[in-house]
Amino acid sequence: MITQRPEVIRLQDPYNEDKVHDACGLFGIMNTSGLRFSADNAIKAMVNMHDRGNGLGAGFAIYGLYPEYKDDYALHVMYLDDAAVKEGEDFIGRHFEVRYAEDVSVDDRIEVVNPPVLKRYFVQPKGPIASHPDEFVRSAVIRINTIGRSFVFSSGKNMGVFKGVGYPEDLAEYFKLREYKGYMWICHSRFPTNTPGWWGGAHPFNILDWSVIHNGELSSYGANRRYLETFGYRCTMQTDTEVMAYAFDLLMRRQGLSVDLTAKILAPPLWLEIDAMHKEEAQIHTSLRQVYGGLLMNGPFSVIVAHHGQMIGLADRLKLRPLSAAVKSDYVYIASEEAAIQTVCPNPDKAWRPRGGEPITGTLKESLVEVPA
């Protein structure tokens, strides 16, 4: 029989808690009528899940953020040094018409260790690309990110990502997020286990208006990355989550697949389950596995995905990472913990824990969200 010394037990569980944190904290809130609201509830929910992070990364994505520039692409760029600023702005000037540019507003009274230079640009692509502007912007963002010291961490229209190294509540104050409003917020607190904690590696990950926050670990990252590279994506942020954002962009925006089909690709049923299905359903799943096998996300994960008009929650098929959901009037909530939802919505109309592989979908201009019977 092996016994532990009391001091070892205290180090591993200093508060004698039974709770299993399961790493990163996720929270999403959306008003399906399109009402824009402040950061207060998003910050309050993340404070409730403070112990899910370790201060090595956090961030927020806000939708409906820039109504005065709603037709322009809003590029949020982090530069690691002054030379990168010149190189990045030269590239942006050659490829985009810059309608407006400024530093990302921060609270200088808050001490931050070695922050990057943060700028934002509201732009339109240059040249005869009117029929494919999204593809031009996607390609340009990836080219900037491969330069090495400049990183576009937000590139959609009428939305923005704010992220860095720190706890969510601290970064919210640093970026002065209480001054912003949006109809949808997704928020993340990071607990990295096998990748570095740095500004570019914080969540959300974004391409165009697709943003992803993730709790878990993808053992399939290498296969996923190689599959996406055949479609022109490049992974540069030193973390497995980046493939999630690109996968949703590829499947739903570029290939026009539904939420349900995308979930079947990323979190497919086991072959034993497919063999037990009716013939037609089994053929669909078999075809998806054959065509999109490289995008199967293997390993424990739960994600919240946002793009204009929709918020999606999805956990791996075995539900190895937690995910809860709730609805209250026109508001949809998705979180790692029901307690975070209860903090800002103590009496929801409906609350539930979705099964693994079954997406939760909140849609703009619909007062109802898909809920289990």
Catalytic residues: 24
Distance CA 143, CA 152 (A): 10
Distance CA 110, CA 347 (A): 36
Q: How many CB atoms lie within 10 A of CB 309?
A: 17
DSSP 130: T
**Can you read off the two tokens belonging to residue 59?**
């961030």
Residue in the block written with tokens 């953020």 = 65
Q: At 273, give phi and psi (nearest 5°).
A: -70, -40
Distance CA 259, CA 252 (A): 7
- How many whole angstroms from its chain centre is CA 96? 26
Closest to 357 in 3D by CA, of 264, 289, 292: 264
Q: How many CB atoms lie within 10 A of CB 349?
A: 12
Residues in the chain: 373
Closest to 182 in 3D by CA, of 323, 364, 369, 371: 364
**Can you read off the two tokens belonging to residue 112?**
């931050």
Closest to 323 in 3D by CA, of 315, 311, 312, 333: 315
First to last CA, the chain: 49
Distance CA 331, CA 35 (A): 10
Which residues pair with residue 152 across a beta bridge? 77
69 exposure class (CB count in 10 Å sphere: 0-12, 13-18, 19+):
middle
